[in-house]
């Protein structure tokens, strides 16, 4: 009876009960999720291990750039002190709905320290009409299937 009253007497017993109850709820919630969370991290690590370095480096851009080679070709061929622009043709659909909207942002991130500029001599074309650049345009790399081109304008 004394033990019981230690837990229920007003107000300190109720406080004791409340503290123990809330700590128990917290501990149960933590322990219930803990194995799943650690296992999930293990799975994420295994999935990451299975990726190529390109998959990891491009990461969020994989659904935007169409072909990993496009970003690597752009990085390899555009000198770090030259400027570039990304042009997306009206009809370009890409792998996802987001591609046309965000592919230029991804190149901004990926190609640094190269700067984007509206009058840049290098153009990364996604589904754009190459004929409009005339004879000054030299296609230095192209993926026909995805309709992606890396173009250099001669001045």
CA distance 19 to 118: 64
Stretch that binds another protein, among 16-24, 127-135, 138-146, 147-155 (CB under 8 A): 16-24
Asked whether position 95 contacts another protein by CB under 8 A, the answer is no
Asked whether position 79 contacts another protein by CB under 8 A, the answer is no
Asked whether position 76 contacts another protein by CB under 8 A, the answer is no
CA distance 100 to 56: 22
**Strands (E) located in the chain:** 83-88, 115-116, 122-126, 137-143, 148-153
Residue 59 φ/ψ region, left for φ over 0, alpha for ψ in the -120 to 50 degree band, beta for the rest = left
Asked whether position 58 contacts another protein by CB under 8 A, the answer is yes
Interacting residues toward another protein by CB under 8 A: 11-16, 18-19, 21-23, 25-27, 29-31, 33-34, 37-38, 40-42, 44-45, 48-49, 51, 53, 55-61, 102, 105-106, 108-109, 112-113, 115
């Amino acid at each position: 009876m004394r033990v019981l009253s230690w837990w229920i007497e007003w107000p300190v017993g109720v406080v004791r009960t409340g503290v123990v109850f809330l700590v128990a709820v917290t501990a149960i919630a933590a322990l219930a999720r803990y194995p799943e969370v650690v296992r999930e991290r293990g799975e994420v690590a295994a999935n990451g291990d299975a990726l190529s370095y390109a998959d990891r480096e491009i990461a969020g851009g994989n659904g935007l750039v169409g072909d990993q080679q496009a970003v690597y070709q752009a990085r390899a061929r555009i000198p770090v002190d030259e400027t570039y622009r990304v042009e997306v043709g009206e009809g370009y659909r890409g792998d996802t709905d987001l591609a046309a909207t965000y592919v230029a942002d991804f190149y901004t991130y990926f190609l640094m320290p190269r700067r984007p500029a509206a009058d840049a001599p290098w153009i990364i074309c996604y589904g754009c009409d190459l004929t409009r650049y005339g004879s000054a345009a030299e296609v230095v790399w192209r993926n026909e299937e995805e309709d992606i081109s890396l173009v250099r304008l001669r001045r």
